[in-house]
Structure 1
Amino acid sequence: MTNMAIRFYGQLRNIPQDKLPPIRELLRDFELFEQENALDFEYEGMYMDHEPYLEQIQAILGEQANGQADFIDLIEWKMFRYVIEQGTITEHAIPLNEVLEKYNTE
């Protein structure tokens, strides 16, 4: 039996150097991968409330925030994509079965 209930991962782009330390601190419980001015983050595990992380990313980066994040709830079988553009976060529900079917046909 697995202890993984959710996946929450994404990428932030065009992060000013002075904003990297507070973003790293916010995401300290995530796996982080940095390259140039981008930061990939990933969490897999038991349920956690992901929306406060998005709100704090938005607060730290303001209009400089760009990127996207995906939240997959493996128990409820739901997926949400969050697009971050110029400090605005837009949520899109994505049918998880359709995502998986794409890989079955490739």
Structure 2
Amino acid sequence: MEQIIIKVYGSISPAGNELLQAAQRVADESVSLEGDMLLISHEGMYFMIDDFIEAIKPHLGKGSEGRIDYIDMDEWTLTRYRIQDGLITRSEAGLNQVMDYSGH
């Protein structure tokens, strides 16, 4: 049985086939296109988040918006990548802080 250490969830819109293909080169089975929204869903031992961000960057444009959450269960951290008008910003917090903030 595989231990889940990394969880990655998110979405980006608008998205098309070029963004999907770029994302699939890094995370084939973890991405899908639903209408004009790219969905990211992964749970497993490893996810190449830096490579993923680099792969999608050239395909984001003005109007691109979304969020990707990278949860490291071993390090107990949440790294959030926010996409706004094609620009990506990164923030990190401990999961205890995140749960306290959300009332859990």
TM bucket, shorter chain: 0.7 to 0.9
Q: TM-score, length-normalised on structure 1?
A: 0.78
Aligned equivalent of 2:90: 91
Aligned equivalent of 2:10: 10
**Misfit runs of 4+, over 6 Å:** none
Number of equivalent positions:
102
1:56 counterpart letter in structure 2:
A
Q: Deviations over 1:41-65 (max 9, x none)?
A: 1110002321110111112334453
Contact 2:30 2:40 in 1 (8 A): yes
Which 5+ residue runs of structure 2 have no aligned equivalent?
Answer: none
| TM-align CA RMSD | 2.3
Q: Residues of 1 paired with 2:87 and 2:23: CA distance?
A: 20
Secondary structure at 1:28 match in 2: helix
Q: Residues of 2 paired with 1:24 and 1:90: CA distance?
A: 18
Which 5+ residue runs of structure 1 have no aligned equivalent?
Answer: none
**Identity over aligned residues, as a percent?**
29
Q: Residues of 1 paired with 2:51 and 2:61: CA distance?
A: 15
1:52 counterpart letter in structure 2:
D
